[in-house]
Amino acid sequence: MRLAIEILQLLVQSADSWLFEGSLAGLSDREWMALRFLARANRFSRTPTALASFLGTTRSVASQIAAVLESKGLMVRKPSAEDKRSIALCITSEGEKFLERDPINVLRDQLVTLELPDRSQLRDTLRRVLDGLDVAKRRHNADVCGRCMFLIESGEGKDRRFKCGLFRKSIAPKDTTLLCAYFEGRG
Q: How many helices (H) and strands (E) does the chain have?
A: 7, 7
Q: Using 50, 70 and 90 to split pLDDT, how confident is the model at 187?
A: low
DSSP string, 38-54: HHHB-TTS-SHHHHHHH
Give pLDDT tens digits for 63-79. Answer: 999 999 999 999 999 98
Quote the pLDDT of residue 126. 86
Instruction: Name the nearest CA neighbour of 90 among 41, 132, 52.
Output: 41
Give pLDDT tens digits for 115-165. Answer: 999 999 998 898 888 777 765 565 557 788 888 888 998 888 888 899 988
- φ/ψ of 51, rounded to 5, equals -60, -45
**What is the percent of the chain where pLDDT is above 90?**
37
Residues 6+ apart with CB under 8 A from 63: 48
* 37 and 90 Cβ atoms separated by less than 8 Å: no
Q: Using 50, 70 and 90 to split pLDDT, how confident is the model at 52?
A: very high
Residues 53-68 have a mean pLDDT of 92
* 33 and 18 Cβ atoms separated by less than 8 Å: yes
Q: Where are the domains of the chain?
A: 18-103
Distance CA 29, CA 18 (A): 6
Residue 37 has pLDDT above 80, yes or no: yes
Residues 37-57 have a mean pLDDT of 91
Quote the pLDDT of residue 34. 95
* 14 and 6 Cβ atoms separated by less than 8 Å: no
Quote the pLDDT of residue 89. 95
**Length of the chain (residues):** 187
Distance CA 179, CA 39 (A): 9
Pick the CATH number of 18-103 from 1.10.10.10, 3.40.50.1820, 1.20.1250.20, 1.10.4030.10: 1.10.10.10
* 87 and 80 Cβ atoms separated by less than 8 Å: yes
* 48 and 63 Cβ atoms separated by less than 8 Å: yes
Quote the pLDDT of residue 53. 87
Instruction: Name the nearest CA neighbour of 41 among 55, 57, 25.
Output: 55
Quote the pLDDT of residue 137. 60
Residue 186 has pLDDT above 80, yes or no: no
pTM: 0.81
